[in-house]
Amino acid sequence: MGVKDSLLTDEMMDTIIANAFEWIVVVDHRGDIIYLNDSYSAFLDVDSKTVIGKHVTEVIENTRMHHVVQTGKEELADLQYIRGNYMIANRVPIFNRNKEVIGAYGTVIFRDTSEWDKMNSHVKSMLGRIRNYLQEYEQQTGVKYTLEDIIGKSKLIQTLKEKVKHIASSDVSVLIRGESGTGKELFAHSIHQLSNRSSMPFIKLNCAAIPEHLLESELFGYEEGAFTGAKKGGKKGKFLLADGGTLFLDEIGDMSLPMQIKLLRALQEGEVEPIGAGKPIQVNVRVIAATNRPLEKMMEEKRFRDDLYYRIHVIPFHIPSLRERTEDIPMLVEHFIQKICKRTGRRITSVTPDALAVLSRYRWPGNIRELENVIQAAVHLSTGDKLTLEALPDYLTESYSIPFGSKSLKDTLEEAEKQAIIQTLENVNDDKLEAAKLLGISKSSLYEKIKKYHIG
């Protein structure tokens, strides 16, 4: 046999690829399948010829090939669940000479059935152990969220995440400010989870949700027989439950003045006295407080104690509203779609551009909580594999600008001015001089307004 006869022919190459141990799929720039090798076809129980031209999501469950052609970013060694098995998938974009994405090819690592079954069982076992560990950790400490649960790549969010990492290990009090629905609790959980107290309890108390006459017993507990209806054996308060760990006091601005005095005493002395107890009990608790109330104004009106404010305000955190970080909306929308689909079994793979445009323009007075509720409703109302404009609530498409009539003229104008500054700064990558030119004001005026509206 000559050298020429031994060269690899196209026919030989086709045979090798078609029967390769690795499963192979190739899609075009739209995500439509243009090739599926025989091994992959056999596993999926489809005809490799009839699937040509179909969108990859119609053939392969949990695929991300269509995302790769959209982003142009490769995804290597990704765990993918297909037909009851965990597979290890690689997805690589294909570029033309002009660096444009013209398609993508994907491979699934697979050797033989017995070896894969063994590996698949091992993966499932490991995932089960991880889930059990996380559930056990949550039950023991009360921590549900970590820094990874805070979604966003905006400068505001990245700065706050770095601040969490920086101060978590310290033991000082933290006051988290922000509108309702911005995710203040997620930051509180994250601070505890990264602190030296992470193995100890994280106890939460919503001060606005507990009736005034019950708040003292919730915070400090009571002894048996302390009052009519007291439980046999008494009850531990939140301070004692959080001993050694963190106490998260949500909506602290709703606490009455008498309770503020008792809370301040507990923080200053490091001890609590349960109702009906004869002597105080020492506690070691880090306090993280949160509120959406204007505490400074409340202090002027004598509705919030100055000394308590300075006790809890050692490290202040301001969580931005969603309208202050609109660049995070696409990422949040994708996150909520995946989260809701995983829980409900629905198959929504993406959001249409016009729907995303409306979601990005709306003011979101209820912030992230409102966005998640809207996406949940839209997922259930969607009929295809995309979240469309028709699935969104009417009020989003009818009124996504400044809510005229709900505020005074002065507040409405200030809101419009603030949003104009925020949007302009985002468009010029935070170049203050360029932003001032575009807005038609001096640089010093811009800095005054940035300070006034607490931007950046």
CA gap 60, 82 in Å, rounded = 7
Residue 381: CATH number of its domain? 1.10.8.60
Q: What is the mean pLDDT of residues 117-125?
A: 62
Tell which of 262, 295, 318 closes a domain.
318
Domain residues for the domain of 421 are 409-452
Type of residue numbered 167: I
Q: Does residue 382 sit in the same domain as residue 278? A: no
Q: Are residues 303 and 336 in the same domain?
A: no
308 plus 328 within the same structural domain: no
Q: Has residue 424 been placed in a domain?
A: yes
| Residue 350 belongs to a domain | yes
From the number of C-beta atoms within 10 Å of its C-beta (0-12, 13-18, 19+), residue 281 rates as middle
Helix 155-167 vs helix 184-193: angle between axes, to the nearest 10 degrees?
40
For the chain, the 3-state helix, strand and coil shares in percent, each to the nearest 5, are: 50, 15, 35
Do 312 and 326 have their domain in common?
A: no
Residue 403: inside a domain: no
Measured distance CA(169)–CA(164) in Å, rounded: 9
Is residue 243 within 8 Å of residue 284, measured between CB atoms?
yes
DSSP string, 119-140: HHHHHHHHHHHHHHHHHHHHHH
pLDDT tens-place string over residues 221-236: 888 777 766 777 788 9
171 and 197 in a common domain: yes
Average pLDDT over residues 173-188: 94
Question: Per-residue pLDDT averaged across 352-357, rounded?
Answer: 91
User: Between the CA atoms of 105, 79, 41 and 61, what dihedral angle is there, to the nearest 10 degrees?
Assistant: -100
Same domain, 444 and 389: no
Q: Which one-letter amino acid corresponds to residue 39?
A: S
Sorting pLDDT into bands at 50, 70 and 90, what band is 410?
confident
* Residues 247, 158 share a domain: yes
Residues 164 and 278 both lie in one domain: yes
Burial of 160 (0-12, 13-18, 19+ CB in 10 A): buried
Query: Considering the domain boundaries, does residue 68 fall inside one?
Result: yes
Domain count, the chain: 4
Task: In whole angstroms, give the CA distance from residue 112 to residue 240.
Answer: 56
Q: Quick check: is 265 in a domain? A: yes
Other CB atoms within 10 Å distance of the CB of residue 130: 10
Q: Does residue 389 contact residue 354 with C-beta atoms inside 8 Å?
A: yes
Residues 387-394: what's their mean pLDDT? 90
- C-beta of residue 186 within 8 angstroms of C-beta of residue 150: yes
Dist CA 193 CA 141 (whole Å): 9
Average pLDDT, the chain: 84
Mean pLDDT of all residues in 372-400: 85
Residues 174 and 280 in one domain: yes
In this structure, the answer to whether residues 56 and 69 fall within a common structural domain is yes
Cα torsion 332, 335, 338, 344: sign: negative
Q: Is residue 330 part of a domain?
A: yes
Residue 185 banded pLDDT, cuts 50, 70, 90: very high
Q: Which residues contact 341 (CB under 8 A, 6 or more apart)?
A: 347, 348, 379
Which residue in 42, 327, 292 sits closest to 158, CA to CA? 327
The lowest-confidence range among 104-113, 116-125, 136-145, 284-293 is 116-125
Sort strands 174-177 and 101-109 into parallel, antiparallel or unpaired: unpaired
The residue that leads in pLDDT, 201 or 425, is 201
β-sheet bridge partners, residue 107: 24, 90
Task: Select from 210, 214, 215, 203 the least CA-distant residue to 242.
Answer: 203
| 435 lies in the same domain as 368 | no
Instruction: Find the mean pLDDT for residues 45-53.
Output: 90
For residue 433, the model assigns a pLDDT of 85
Task: Measure the CA–CA gap between 48 and 26, rounded to whole angstroms.
Answer: 12
Tell me how crowded residue 434 is: count the other CB atoms within 10 A of its CB: 15
Strand 202-206 and strand 246-250: pairing? Answer: parallel
The two structure tokens encoding residue 257: 């003045």
Contact assessment for residue 56 and residue 31, using Cβ atoms and an 8 Å cutoff: yes
pTM of the entire predicted model: 0.61
Look at strands 75-82 and 286-291 and give their pairing.
unpaired
Q: pLDDT at residue 128 above 50?
A: yes
> Is residue 129 in a domain?
no
Is 142 within 8 Å of 203 (Cβ atoms)?
A: yes
Residues 226 and 214: beta-carbon distance below 8 Å: no
Confidence of residue 3 (pLDDT cuts 50, 70, 90): very low
State whether residue 349 is helix, strand or coil.
coil
- Has residue 376 got a pLDDT over 70? yes
pLDDT one-digit tens code per residue, 215-272: 999 999 888 777 766 777 788 999 999 999 999 999 999 999 999 999 999 999 999 9
Q: Residue 78 pairs with which residues in a beta bridge?
A: 89
DSSP classification of residue 83 = T
Residue with tokens 């029967």: 19
| Residue 424 pLDDT class (50, 70, 90 cuts) | confident
State the virtual CA torsion across 180, 183, 189, 195 in degrees, nearest 10.
-110
Domain membership of residue 421 (yes or no) is yes
Tokens found for residue 109 = 């690592």
Do 213 and 158 lie in a common domain? yes
